[in-house]
Structure 1
Amino acid sequence: MADETSRTAFMEIQGRMIEITAKLKQVQNQMRSKEGEKKRAFLTLEELRHLSDDTNTYKSIGRTFVLEPKAVLMNEQEQKFKDSETAVSSLQSSKEYLEKQKAEVENNLRELLSQDPGLARQIMSMTVM
């Protein structure tokens, strides 16, 4: 039977692993969202570039469309594109940090289980419901 300190350490490591994994998934979802925004802004910019400067362009505001000059829409889309790029790079660094933390926690878990074979056997005998 594993002693109480090993079991407590295992529970802490397990909780940390769950927390890091949840944060990592959240960052990945945010990255996916920002990549989509970036792509939409890029595609919109590409379509606007093909239009002549005197073309009527409209901006969507909820259910309403408002007449805007092409230059204003171009600036807005360029800003959205830049903001999305910045957010993606920031989220990428967060993702890398969380992946390092996850690897560290996995190593801590392996080390704990190698030091206490009784705990490892006890964990392996548990059934997942």
Structure 2
Amino acid sequence: MADEANRTAFMEIQGRMIETTAKLKQVQNQMRTKEGEKKRAYLTLQELQQVPDDTNTYKSIGMKTSKEYLEKQMAEVENNLRELLQQDPGLARQIMSMSV
């Protein structure tokens, strides 16, 4: 019964890890896109130096915060998985024998 509970916990943690990894990759891709936009905006800014100072401009925020949050989530999932496997070494053998 404990084996089944551990197996269920592993499957849940594995699912969270896959989901978090996908989200992290998505944020990293968005950050690359924003870096390109940032370069274009800088070039545009150089062209628009004659615009009055009170003109509204756009600034992208929050991408690094999202990345840091997802990286922390990933570390937590990895720690949970590591703890689970340390508590039940037999679970690692069962997982290795499972066909994916």
Structure 1 length normalisation: TM-score? 0.65
Unaligned runs of 5+ in 2: none
Per-residue deviation, residues 2-37 of structure 1 (Å, max 9, x unmatched): 711011000100011111111111111111111111
- Cα deviations across residues 60-91 of structure 1 (Å, max 9, x unaligned)? xxxxxxxxxx639xx57xx24xx23xx2xx11
- Give 1:1-129 correspondences, 5 Å limit: 3-49=3-49, 71=51, 79-80=57-58, 83-84=59-60, 87=61, 90-126=62-98
Higher mean Cα deviation, 105-114 or 2-11? Answer: 2-11
Instruction: Tell me, in whole angstroms, the C-alpha distance in 2 between the residues paired with 1:10 and 1:94.
Output: 26
Question: Displaced runs of 4+ in structure 1, greater than 6 A?
Answer: none
SS at match of 2:9: helix
CA distance in 2, matches of 1:3, 1:30: 40
Tell me by how many angstroms 1:46 deviates.
2.1
State the alpha-carbon separation in 1 of the partners of residues 7 and 86 from structure 2: 13
Query: Where is the strand percentage greater, Structure 1 or Structure 2?
Result: 1
> 2: CA distance between counterparts of 1:34 and 1:14?
30
Deviation by residue 1:95-122 (Cα, 9 ceiling, x = unmatched): 1111111101101000101111111011
Task: For 1:97 and 1:18, locate their aligned partners in 2 and report how far apart those are by CA, in whole Å.
Answer: 16
The answer to which structure, 1 or 2, has the higher relative contact order (CA under 8 A, 6+ apart) is 2
The structure with the largest alpha-carbon Rg is 1
Number of matched residues? 97
Post-superposition offset of 1:48: 4.5
Question: Distance in 1 between the 2:87 and 2:67 partners?
Answer: 30
Alpha-carbon RMSD across the aligned residues, in angstroms, is 2.1
Query: Which stretches in structure 1 are left out of the alignment for 5+ residues?
Result: 50-69
Distance 1:21 1:14 in 2: 10
